[in-house]
Amino acid sequence: MIEFVGGILVAIGLFTSWAAFLLSGTMAAAYFMGHQKNGLLPIQNGGELAAAYAFVFLYIAARGSGPHAVQPD
């Protein structure tokens, strides 16, 4: 539910920073809970996509929504 609603909020630009920060934490938790036990690096344990999403959402949270958002930051 968090991923679905948060993804929609980020896509339309409504409360983007908060939603992206929450999604970044969700992806980091998914990486550590689901992939970290199989190896140290994402390339070893198959968690490349979860790690990439965590960093991309963290970038979006820091950067903001942009000029074409429903609610600019």
Task: Please report the pLDDT score of residue 73 as a whole number.
Answer: 57
Contact 9, 15 (CB under 8 A): yes
Task: Please report the pLDDT score of residue 66 as a whole number.
Answer: 83
Domain spans in the chain, listed from the N-terminal domain onward = 2-63
Q: How far apart are CA 49 and CA 37, in angstroms?
A: 16
* pLDDT beneath 70: ranges in the chain: 72-73
Contact 10, 16 (CB under 8 A): yes
Structure tokens at 65: 């929504």
Inter-helix orientation angle 48-63/16-34, to 10°? 160
Task: Please report the pLDDT score of residue 71 as a whole number.
Answer: 73
Task: Please report the pLDDT score of residue 72 as a whole number.
Answer: 66
pTM assigned to the model: 0.86
Contact 27, 10 (CB under 8 A): no
